[in-house]
Structure 1
Amino acid sequence: MLDVRRLRLLRDLARLGTIAAVAEAHSYSPSAVSQQLAVLQREAGVPLTERTGRGVTLTPAGEALVRHTETVLAALEAAAATLAAARTGLHGTVRIGAFPTAVRTLLPAALVALARDHPALDLMVTELDPVAMPDALRERRLDVALLHDYDLAPVVPDPTVDSLPLLDETVYLAVPEGLPVADDPVHAARDADWIVGTPGTLCHTVAMRICQAAGYQLRARHHADDFTAVLALVAAGLGVALVPQLGAVQPPSGVRLVPLESRRRTRIAYRRGSGDHPAVAACVAAIRTATTGFLT
């Protein structure tokens, strides 16, 4: 019988690419990971990995086993959900991850409702950039996550994650009051200083792409990830920025919000197979209720 813990290591090797990265993710030593993978290979009876220079890659059999592993892990999540549903009442820790504007606008009402209706649940919130959410779910650092993408920067679905649509938002170009805005506001901002997110974040990527689609490379003058700070910089006349609707609920004076055709799309995500877990389902329901009519 193949050991599930060793299958997780093989799955993470396929995802992370190196023994050292797998060891770090699991707080193991590299030699311990290598030993466990060697045992798994003996259990399987066929080579699962092979040396390529200084690295290790999966053989076709190893890649096939990883695909089966995702199915096995999803089935285990579903089994745990079934057992949890057989218990009386909801209890235990639920780790919720969300991007900053959702933490500020959507989550408070959902958390209050969950605490009222399920007082034995221990709710923990972590603020994360959406690009980090799938790994956090997979590594069980989160149980439920609010993540998003943009139509200009769609995210490839992660096979280890299930999700439900939650919210579609207008994206605005935030400009200082009085700055002329043409029919194509992004193109009109080609000579402006831009306020963008930290490189590597989804917001930074979207700003780069929306300007590329308008035919130019933006000039990033300031970097800020909090939309309150972004709008304060815009109000001070220090540049223009992209701001989604949730980030522009209470814009300061001196800012004009010009709606664009681009959309930001938010989803509620959880590990594949865990959607029927009562605690996960309760969180999803509370978040969806808190979101209903929020932007209307």
Structure 2
Amino acid sequence: MLDVRRLRLLRDLAHLGTIAAVAQAHAYTPSAVSQQLAALQREAGVPLLEHTGRRVTLTPAGTELVRHTETILATLETASATLSAARAGVSGTVRIGAFPTAVRTLLPAALVALARDHPALDLMVSELDPVEMPDALRDGRLDVALVHDYDIAPVAPDPGLDSVPLLDETVFLAVPTSFETGPTPVADAREAAWVAGTPGTLCHTVATRVCEAHGFTPRVRHHVDDFTAVLALVAAGQGVALVPELGAAQPCAGVRLVPLEVCRRTAIAYRRGGGGHPAIAACVAALLASQDALPSPDVPPER
């Protein structure tokens, strides 16, 4: 019979890409991971891994086994959720991951509601970049996470996760108040300096794609990931930037927000099969209700 712990290691190798990364995620040594995967391969009776140069990749049989593993792990999550639901009350530790703007805007009201309605819950919040959330959910560092993508840069669904849509936000072009824009504001910023996220982040990708959709590559002067700092630089005349609605919740003097036909989409994610866990369900409900406490961005009428 195949060992579930070894199957989990194979699944994580498919997502993380290297044995070293799997070892780090599980606090194992790389040699221990290699030994466990070799044992799994013997149990399976067919090659699951192959060496490509210095890297280890999955064979077609290994890839197919990972697909079945996602279903097996989801079934175990469902079983765990069923047992938790049979116990009295909502209790235990819930590790919540959120990106910075969500920590400032969505989470406070949800945490207050959860502490009031479910005092036996022990809530732990970690601020992470959304790209880190899926791995943290899969390896158990998080139980619930706020993740996002953009309609112009969609992220493929993760087979190991379930999610509930939470919020669609308008994305704004933030410009100094003296900056003139017309019917096509992004095109009007063709010659402007830009403030964008660090290369490799989703925010940087979105800024590049939005500009490329208007026929140019942005001239990025500053790489900044915090939207409060981004707005401060725009107010100082250092460039223009894309800012989603939550990032524009605190108005900044000297900045004008021009709404675009671009949307950032936030969802509540958790391990597949875990939605019936009482603590997970309570967190989802509180986060869905937290939208009512959101401030609206200060968007002056267009002149």
TM-score, normalised to structure 1, is 0.96
Show the 5 A alignment for 1:1-296.
1-292=1-292, 294=294
Cα pair distance change 1:245/1:42, threshold 3 Å: same
Which letter maps to 2:162? Answer: D
Determine helix, strand or coil for the equivalent of 1:269.
strand
Contact map agreement 2:161 2:272 (CA 8 A) in 1: yes
Contact map agreement 2:109 2:293 (CA 8 A) in 1: no
Cα drift, residue 192 of structure 1: 0.8
Cα drift, residue 60 of structure 1: 2.2
Determine helix, strand or coil for the equivalent of 1:276.
coil
Which letter maps to 2:117? Answer: D
**Size of the alignment, in residue pairs?**
296
Q: Distance in 1 between matches of 2:271 and 2:189?
A: 41
Cα drift, residue 239 of structure 1: 0.9
Summarize deviations over 1:110-159 as a string: whole Å, max 9, x none: 00000111111110111111111111111111111111111111111111
Q: Distance in 1 between matches of 2:36 and 2:49?
A: 12
Q: Distance in 2 between matches of 1:53 and 1:261?
A: 45
Counterpart in the other structure of 2:300: none
Q: Distance in 1 between matches of 2:114 and 2:2?
A: 39
Summarize deviations over 1:33-76 as a string: whole Å, max 9, x none: 11111211222222222233333222222222111110000000
TM-score, normalised to structure 2, is 0.94
Q: Distance in 2 between matches of 1:55 and 1:246?
A: 41
- Provide the aligned C-alpha RMSD in A: 1.3
Contact map agreement 2:197 2:223 (CA 8 A) in 1: yes
Which letter maps to 2:95? Answer: R
Q: Distance in 2 between matches of 1:136 and 1:279?
A: 18
Which letter maps to 1:190? Answer: R
Cα drift, residue 19 of structure 1: 2.1
Determine helix, strand or coil for the equivalent of 1:217.
coil
Cα drift, residue 24 of structure 1: 2.1
Q: Distance in 2 between matches of 1:52 and 1:236?
A: 51
Structure 1 unmatched runs, 5+: none
Determine helix, strand or coil for the equivalent of 1:205.
helix
Q: Distance in 1 between matches of 2:122 and 2:147?
A: 21
Which letter maps to 2:146? Answer: L
Cα drift, residue 293 of structure 1: 6.8
Moved over 4 A (4+): none
Q: Distance in 2 between matches of 1:225 and 1:16?
A: 24
Q: Distance in 2 between matches of 1:56 and 1:147?
A: 29
